[in-house]
Amino acid sequence: MHGHDHQVSLGFSPDLYPAGTHICYLLNDEQEWSRIVPPYIRSGLEGGESVDYFADVSGSDMLDPVFQSIGMAGSSQASTDGFAVALAVAVAMDKYCPDGRFVPERMLSALCDIYDRACAAGFAGARVTGEMTWALRGVPGSERLIEYETQINTMLREHPLTVLCQYDTRKFDGGTIFEVLNVHPMLIVHGQILRNPFYIPSDQSLRAKSGESGGA
Amino acid sequence: MTDSGVQADVLGRLLIIQQTLDAFPDETRIAEFICRALKTVPGVSDVLICIRGRMIPPDVLFQAICAQSERAWDAPGSLDLAAVDRKNNAHYFPLRTAWHLFGLLIVLVADEDMVRPYLGLLGNTANTMGIILSTRMYQAKLAKSNEELRIARDESERLLLNLLPYPIAERLKARPDLSADSIPAVIADSFPEVTVLFADIVEFTRFSAGMSAERLVAVLNEIFTDFDSIADHRGLEKIKTIGDAYMAAAGLPVPAADHAVRVAHMALDMMDALDRFNARSGYRLQLRIGINSGAVVAGVIGTRKFIYDLWGDTVNTASRMESHGVAGRVQVTDATRRRLGEPFLFEERGIIDAKGIGELHTWFLTGRNGAPRPNDARPQH
B271 vs A86, higher pLDDT: B271
Is the Cβ of B156 closer than 8 Å to some Cβ of chain A?
no
Active site residue B320: yes
Between vectors from CA A96 to CA A3 and to CA A36, what angle results, nearest 5°?
A: 60
Winning range, highest mean pLDDT, from B49-53, B64-68, B136-140: B136-140
**pLDDT recorded at residue B144:** 94
Q: Is the dihedral of CA B223, B225, B229, B235 positive or negative?
A: positive
How would you write chain A as a 3-class SS string?
A: CCCCCCEEECCCCCCEEECCCEEEEEECCHHHHHHHHHHHHHHHHHCCEEEEEEECCCCHHHHHHHHHHCCCCCHHHHHHHCCCCCEEEEEHHHHHCCCCCCCHHHHHHHHHHHHHHHHHCCCCEEEEEEEHHHHHCCCCCHHHHHHHHHHHHHHHHHCCCEEEEEEECCCCCHHHHHHHHCCCCEEEECCEEEECCCCCCHHHHHHHHHCCCCCC
- Tens digit of pLDDT for each residue in A33-44? 999 999 999 999
Give CA–CA dist B75/B203, Å, rounded.
73
Which of B 38-67 lie inside 8 A of A, CB atoms? Answer: 40
| Closest alpha carbon within chain B to A169 | B24
**pLDDT recorded at residue B379:** 40
Q: Which residues of A touch B24 (CB under 8 A)?
A: 28, 169, 174, 177
Range list of β-strands (E), B202-286: 237-242, 245-250
User: Catalytic pick from B96, B238, B262, B320?
Assistant: B320
| Average pLDDT value for residue range A66-71 | 77
Cβ contact, residue pair A174, B9, below 8 Å: no
**pLDDT recorded at residue B51:** 80
Reported confidence tier of residue B258, pLDDT bands at 50, 70, 90:
very high
Cβ contact, residue pair A189, B28, below 8 Å: no
Whether residue A180 has pLDDT greater than 90: yes
| Structural contact between residues A18 and A160, judged by C-beta atoms closer than 8 angstroms | yes
Give CA–CA dist A138/A107, Å, rounded.
17
Averaged pLDDT score across all residues of chain B: 83
Q: Does an H or E element contain B46, and which?
A: strand B44-51
Q: What is the interface pTM, i.e. ipTM, of the complex?
A: 0.80
Cβ contact, residue pair B12, A197, below 8 Å: yes
Averaged pLDDT score across all residues of chain A: 86
User: Catalytic pick from B158, B280, B355, B378?
Assistant: B355
> For B33-47, B170-184, B327-341, B359-373, which range has the lowest pLDDT when averaged over its residues?
B170-184
- Tens digit of pLDDT for each residue in B184-225? 556 788 999 999 999 999 988 888 887 888 888 899 999 999
CA distance B91 to chain A (A): 22
Local structure of B278: helix, strand or coil: helix
Cβ contact, residue pair B36, A198, below 8 Å: no
CA distance B94 to chain A (A): 21
Is the Cβ of A136 closer than 8 Å to some Cβ of chain B?
no
Reported confidence tier of residue B106, pLDDT bands at 50, 70, 90:
confident
**pLDDT recorded at residue B70:** 54
- Angstrom CA distances, B249 to A6, A72, A159, B227, stand at 81, 57, 81, 13
Q: Are strands B329-333 and B245-250 parallel, antiparallel or unpaired?
A: unpaired
**pLDDT recorded at residue B185:** 57
> For B124-128, B167-171, B218-222, B302-306, which range has the lowest pLDDT when averaged over its residues?
B302-306
Cβ contact, residue pair B36, A194, below 8 Å: no
**pLDDT recorded at residue B48:** 86
Within 10 A of B180 (CB to CB), how many other CB atoms are there? 13
Of chain A, the percentage scoring pLDDT greater than 70 comes to 86
**pLDDT recorded at residue A83:** 44
**pLDDT recorded at residue B55:** 54
pTM of the entire structure?
0.65
- Tens digit of pLDDT for each residue in A155-174? 999 999 999 999 999 999 99
**pLDDT recorded at residue B88:** 62
Which residue type does A53 have?
Y
Cβ contact, residue pair B36, A174, below 8 Å: yes
| Average pLDDT value for residue range A76-86 | 47
**pLDDT recorded at residue A85:** 58
| Average pLDDT value for residue range A17-31 | 93
Length of chain A (residues): 216
**pLDDT recorded at residue B378:** 40
Whether residue B353 has pLDDT greater than 70: yes
Specify burial of residue A119 (Cβ count, 10 A radius: 0-12, 13-18, 19+): middle
Give CA–CA dist A76/A54, Å, rounded.
18
Is the Cβ of B6 closer than 8 Å to some Cβ of chain A?
no
Local structure of B353: helix, strand or coil: strand
